[in-house]
Chain A
Amino acid sequence: MNVTLLIYVLAGGGLVASWIVDRQKTRGVLKVAGRAGLKMLPSVLAVVILVGLVLGLVPPETIRVYLGAGTGLWGTALAAIVGAITLLPSLVAFPLAASLLRSGASVMTIAAFITTLTMVGFVTAPMEVRELGLRFTLVRNGLALVAGIAIALAMGVILG
């Protein structure tokens, strides 16, 4: 909640300052804002629906099943993929990960899951493709997936 407040404080303050300094430019600011908003709307809607689908169809329990199962390289890869396609708020993801660790999941699995959960966005892809292009999206997410596995393996070595 306080993040939202911060955003609006900054936006409001900035807008007021802009208005005082240069009205014409401020009109331009609103124009850009409006255009950007319109452009983002279809992809944001797509993301929202995808999120609903994922959250509605893949409850944390199912994730628990998938992540708790495997160990070793195979389990890590699976965790990475699960992380890639799910979208969980940190508030839910971290406690879930913690309980998985307690019930025996390996550090590698959890590390893979968290890394890809945050960095790979299957669900946010519509937006990313729209703003940054298909190729960029594929490259970044692909690399993030690989990074997730690499990080997980390293974590396994370090924290064993």
Chain B
Amino acid sequence: MPRRGPGGRKPGLRALVPVGILLALVGVLWLTRPAAGQAVVAASWVYLQEVLLIMPGIVILMGLFEVWVPKSAIQRLMGQGSGIGGILLAIGLGTAPTGPLYIAFPIAASLSRKGASTFNLMVFLSTWAAIKVPQVMMEAKFLGLEFAMARLGLTLVAMLVMAYVGSKLLPGWVPPAASSPAVAGAGPAPQRGQSSA
């Protein structure tokens, strides 16, 4: 859906609509079932604190990445045709213990803008989601080494299949308009509308 209106670069107030709706939902809940409403607010508050604590660090890392890592490097290492090396790199990046899944999304978008292939992107996201080292260790502790190893192996296979199918279903996919024009000043013009078709 093309986004008209002022400010091609600012997120735009339109982005806040879902938040508004959700807040309204919580408000209704608070009024009709106060106990549940309170539980929701409490949980949100705790989570919000965790998120806000981590965000500055993450965005700085993203900024460093965006400015310092040359597109050519990513393209060569993780782009189309980078083969096994690209896949291994995607897995390696995904497994580094750096936070919840939603942090991975902007990172994935950055990688894609620098030339990583859709296949590797999916590998990265799946790894981040399901095969993070500390997570697997905890899984082994609670559910047994057998379970954890079996799931690990199966997930690896499934993830590669997923990435393959996904890349076939999304040929020529590019992430939606970048939030940040290239820093050196000679950036591309901000794109209009979402290119997610």
Interface residues, chain A, with chain B CB atoms under 8 Å away: 3-4, 6-8, 10-12, 14-15, 18, 25, 28-53, 55-57, 90-91, 94-95, 97-98, 101, 107, 110-111, 114-115, 118-119, 121, 124, 126-128, 130-136, 139-140, 143-144, 147, 150-151, 154-155, 158-159
Contacts and interface: CB of A to CB of B under 8 A. Distances in A.
A140 B108 CA distance: 13
A148 B192 CA distance: 36
B111 to A, nearest CB: 11
Nearest to B181: A35
Contacts of B109: 131-132
Contacts of B44: 48-49, 51-53, 56
Interface string B2-39: 00000001110001101100110110010000001111
Chain B binding surface SS class: helix
A16 to B, nearest CB: 11
A102 to B, nearest CB: 10
Contacts of B55: 37, 40, 44
Contact of A7 (B99, B143, B147, B154): B99
Contact of B40 (A31, A52, A119): A52
Contacts of B11: 38-39, 41-42
Interface of B: 9-11, 15-16, 18-19, 22-23, 25-26, 29, 36-45, 47-48, 51, 53-64, 66-68, 97-102, 105-106, 108-109, 112, 122, 125-126, 129-130, 135, 138-139, 141-143, 146-147, 150-151, 154-155, 158-159, 161-162, 165-166, 169-170, 173, 175-176, 179-180, 183-184, 194-197
B138 A127 contact: no
A151 B63 contact: no
A32 to B, nearest CB: 4
Nearest to A54: B43
Given A36-B106, A56-B42, A150-B158, A46 B22 contact: yes
A52 B46 CA distance: 9
Given A18-B68, A42-B11, A49-B26, A94 B142 contact: yes
A95 B37 CA distance: 26
List the 5 shortest-distance A-B pairs measured between CB atoms, nearest first: A52-B44, A133-B196, A56-B40, A28-B183, A33-B63
